[in-house]
Structure 1
Amino acid sequence: MKKLFISTAILALLASCNNKDAETVATDKTEVAISNEKIVSLNGAITEILADLGEENNLVGVDVTSTYPTSVKEKAKDLGHVRSLSIEALLALKPTKVFATDKDLTPEQIAQLKNAGISVEIVKQDFSVEGTKELVKTIATSLHKTDYEAINTKIDTDLKALKPLATKPKVLFIYARGAGNLMVAGKNTPMEKIIAIAGGENAISEFEDFKPLTPEAVVKGNPDYILMFDKGLESIGGVDGVLKLEGVATTNAGKNKKIIAMDGALLSGFGPRVGQAAAQLNQLLQK
């Protein structure tokens, strides 16, 4: 069974660099210290944080989930999916530091990188607002940065846009890569967490993780809304394609054509834009 691979992370401090190995640049409001590291990021949320910390120009390689900011792929080499990662291609970039979650690299790959003299930062993700804030803090600390609070303050500011919903709507998340590859999000998934932050309730409570979509699960869940990644929705023919899925037409979401599509990296990333994602979903659940 194929599973949706959504990877985000909290960074652990494993290495240090001298303050003299960094330069300081001025921004409109403050000064941001820029390291002289050559960085590879194997996680989209980590990449976003590094960019917000002023390290975008120091990124030499990123994974396929690193889609934001869009300028990253113009500056750093796309190393593809971590499940098919070529360590040789990564080493060819001659990085000084690699950031990854505990799901991205095998022990053998980690050893290979460390043996090459590369600092490897392996972290575990906590899909929560506080987990994201801690992730920001830890990544900043690993780069000897103290100017990260503005990022976390922005998360809190974004969350202030959340508005109470009259009733807690049931939301079914469907992951699609064409009509032949459909999965739904159960308990303890990033999708359940972001739905809850936005004021909704996951329609699936019978199982954990992601499982193949079945008509029975759709009917039993009877969601008020169906939530998808925008590219996933496109892959099955848009709203009309969703409504044709077996079981959907009998649900409240199907009858009322309540189909929501959002950017995948924004919705599931749990990076610096987590507050923005929750606020956007909250707004869409009010319609």
Structure 2
Amino acid sequence: MKRIILAIILAVFTLNAKAGDRLSVNTKIVSLNGTVSEILVGLGLENNIIGTDVTSNYPESLKSKPKIGHYRNISAEGIIALQPDVVTGLSTEIKPELAAQLKSAGIKLVMFTQDFSPDGTRKLIKDMSAAFGGQQQAAVLIKKLDTDLAAANKLNKTATKPKVLFIYARGAGTMMVSGDNTPLNKIIQLAGGQNAVTGFNDYKPLTSEALVAANPDAILLFSSGMESLGGATGLLNVQGINQTNAGKNKKFITMEGELLTGFGPRLGQAIAELSQKLK
């Protein structure tokens, strides 16, 4: 029932956004998603942003904005304390309870859907400009995105598709691998690789048996994840790593997390960087 209520709430606000609502110059915005925050800045609305989630770190200037936590554990109280006019983010990342609390406080929700693909990125930029204004800025963002994607596409035209295993790590005690229907799976494919593990959705715990069976050619981690393991030496100490082609060749790739998984305006740059590192 809560899911149904949330869907109704979000549908209403989505319709309002598409109907052409525009913000005043003083509208105060809280963003709950890093990609959404990045696009808001690209649309010329950085000065309207009064708070963000912890993943909103690009551009660098967003790091100075008040942080309200990660979308998984954001409280209504922290948002309400900032007194925003609008809270925005992705519809899949806001809990029904939080949406109801914000609505009760008289705060408008403008939420968006995101498809992890180039077309999905273009649509998100267009949808956000329809809701917040900035059509000219949106056109500039999309033109730059298309240029970057075209350049990235030239880099990954190879006969072989290396097997890439993404490991989400927060120390050796918390290690997960990404399967189908994840942004990691999509970005690996766009960069000319193939996911080393398939047959399941989302993420699942890393096991040495599955690791050896997958035998990836390259292992991909967030830069912060590699740091949590103590670098390449720590990764090699994980059971099974040194039995894989990636471990034997020390083919370990790190990238900044928001860039790798955001599927925002820098998508072409992310694909190009991963393509180069896979070679």
CA distance in 2, matches of 1:191, 1:119: 32
**Correspondence for 1:41:** 31
Q: 1:70 deviation in Å?
A: 1.9
Q: 1:116 deviation in Å?
A: 2.5
Choose the corresponding residue for 2:47, options 32, 40, 57. 57
Give the residue type in structure 2 aligned to 1:150. Answer: V
CA distance in 2, matches of 1:282, 1:251: 21
Larger helix share, 1 or 2: 2
**Aligned partner of residue 160 in structure 1, secondary structure:** helix
**Contact in 2 for aligned 1:14/1:120 (Cα 8 Å):** no
Give the residue type in structure 1 aligned to 2:143. Answer: T
**Correspondence for 2:219:** 226
**Contact in 2 for aligned 1:155/1:275 (Cα 8 Å):** yes
CA distance in 2, matches of 1:130, 1:17: 22
**Correspondence for 2:276:** 283
**Contact in 2 for aligned 1:13/1:138 (Cα 8 Å):** no
**Aligned partner of residue 65 in structure 1, secondary structure:** coil
**Aligned partner of residue 264 in structure 2, secondary structure:** coil
13 and 43 in structure 1: CA distance in 2 versus 1, 3 angstrom threshold: farther
Q: 1:71 deviation in Å?
A: 0.9
CA distance in 2, matches of 1:242, 1:184: 14
CA distance in 2, matches of 1:42, 1:50: 12
**Correspondence for 1:120:** 109
TM-score, normalised to structure 1, is 0.86
Q: Once structures 1 and 2 are overlaid, which stretch shifts more, 39-48 or 216-225?
A: 216-225
Instruction: Please tell me the root mean square deviation across aligned C-alpha atoms, in Å.
Output: 1.7
TM-score, normalised to structure 2, is 0.89
CA distance in 1, matches of 2:20, 2:68: 25
CA distance in 2, matches of 1:13, 1:71: 31
CA distance in 2, matches of 1:18, 1:227: 42
**Contact in 2 for aligned 1:12/1:139 (Cα 8 Å):** no
**Correspondence for 1:111:** 100
1:120-157 Cα distance to aligned partner (Å, 9 max, x none)? 01222211111111000001110133111111111111
Does residue 252 (structure 1) correspond to residue 245 (structure 2)? The answer is: yes
Ranges in structure 2 where 5+ consecutive residues have no aligned partner: 1-12
Give the residue type in structure 2 aligned to 1:126. Answer: D
**Contact in 2 for aligned 1:13/1:141 (Cα 8 Å):** no
**Contact in 2 for aligned 1:14/1:119 (Cα 8 Å):** no
Q: 1:221 deviation in Å?
A: 1.0
Give the residue type in structure 1 aligned to 2:183. Answer: P
**Correspondence for 1:4:** none
1:211-249 Cα distance to aligned partner (Å, 9 max, x none)? 000011111111110000011001101111112211111
**Correspondence for 2:186:** 193
CA distance in 1, matches of 2:16, 2:151: 36
1:29-82 Cα distance to aligned partner (Å, 9 max, x none)? xxxxxx4321010001100100111111110110011111121121x2100112
Q: 1:167 deviation in Å?
A: 0.9
CA distance in 2, matches of 1:179, 1:18: 48
CA distance in 1, matches of 2:58, 2:263: 12
Q: 1:18 deviation in Å?
A: 6.6
Choose the corresponding residue for 1:235, options 223, 228, 232. 228
Choose the corresponding residue for 1:134, options 123, 129, 142. 123
Q: Percent identity?
A: 52
Give the residue type in structure 1 aligned to 2:144. Answer: K
1:149-179 Cα distance to aligned partner (Å, 9 max, x none)? 1111111111122211231111000000011
Does residue 85 (structure 1) correspond to residue 85 (structure 2)? The answer is: no
1:11-42 Cα distance to aligned partner (Å, 9 max, x none)? 945347776x65xxxxxxxxxxxx43210100
**Correspondence for 2:169:** 176
Q: 1:110 deviation in Å?
A: 1.4
Ranges in structure 1 where 5+ consecutive residues have no aligned partner: 1-10, 23-34
Give the residue type in structure 2 aligned to 1:43. Answer: N
The number of aligned residues is 262
Give the residue type in structure 2 aligned to 1:136. Answer: I
CA distance in 2, matches of 1:237, 1:109: 37
